[in-house]
Amino acid sequence: MTRQPRLLSGVHEAIGNTPMVHLSRLTAGLEGAICAKLEYLNPGFSKKDRIALQIIEEAERDGSLQPGQTVVELTSGNTGTGLAIVCAVKGYPFIAVMSKGNSYERARMMKALGAEVVLVDQAPGSAPGQVSGESLALAEAEARRHVREQGAFRADQFERLGNVHAHEYFTAMEMWEQTNGEIDVFVDFAGSGGTFAGCAKALRRCNPAIRCYVVEPETAPYLAGRQVTDPNHRIQGGGYGMRLPLLDAEDVTDYLTVSDEEAVAAARELARREGVFAGFSSGANVAAALRLLRERERGARIALTINDSGLKYLSTDLFE
């Protein structure tokens, strides 16, 4: 994922090496700092481009993905977009399986990139834009059917170590270099768990004193071992109320929760005050970081990722 000063052989070589910015306007008057890695500047407008490339290239190296083989993945849209890009330039047919609860911009983008998109009905009682673990399970069953019937390669972001490696080998080390190692805290809204797992492992190797916080929806603090009162939250791309095999509890300093309203407010403030146009989960990251600076981590230097672009949520109420 190292960007070179040369003509690239394909857009997949432009993945990674995203800029990092100090959110000085949002933190004015607070002790400490928030440094945000602008992952929405990847070609597919999200951090998931990284794991798409890493998973595919690791599978190519170990022989589990054969030339011309179909790739299938369950996605909320961002991993699917990354895979659509990587598969397009590498010549693999790609099928994205997605719950209808996710914003439709993502499905349209994947189709434009040549993917076949299979939309799965939500679980009964689910509201549009609110994907619960139950809705995800329905999409998972559909993804498995396509893998079985087509002899396809399953990218499987919830299980494959390429998800962790993408952030362990690259994202975290870019953060460390860009901040000159001045990181005290890392926070991450948990989706598949790969970003947290990879960044926490790498950053703690650099400095074992770094505190790493997992962020969950206020109504679905499953990973923290607390009661899920409402799985139908609005923070798309995570908080599914399910076990995450890639996430190692030993790397977690503590678990934080963010309400839908806090995530939305932070995403809107990011756009208005910092010029950073991002989605729900990025808002959750920033809301959690701001609370830490006001409370238990006063004076800390906090690193986080801006996960995807607000362009992917224009059909939602995020920027009404």
Catalytically active residues are 48, 281
**Residue 33 structure tokens:** 């700092």
Vertex 243: Cα angle to 228 and 69 (nearest 5): 130
Tokens 């990847």 belong to residue:
42
Assess contact for 72 and 142: CB atoms under 8 A.
Answer: no
CA proximity to 18, closest of 34, 35, 32: 35
| Sign of the dihedral through C-alpha 310, 311, 315, 320 | positive
CA diameter of the chain = 58
Of 204, 188, 189, 205, the closest CA to residue 303 belongs to 188
| DSSP letters spanning 86-135 | HHHHHT--EEEEEETTS-HHHHHHHHHTT-EEEEEPPPTTPPTT---HHH
* Cα 272 to the center of its chain, rounded Å: 22
* Phi, psi (deg, nearest 5) at residue 50: -60, -50
- Reported as type and span, the H/E element at residue 195 is helix 194-206
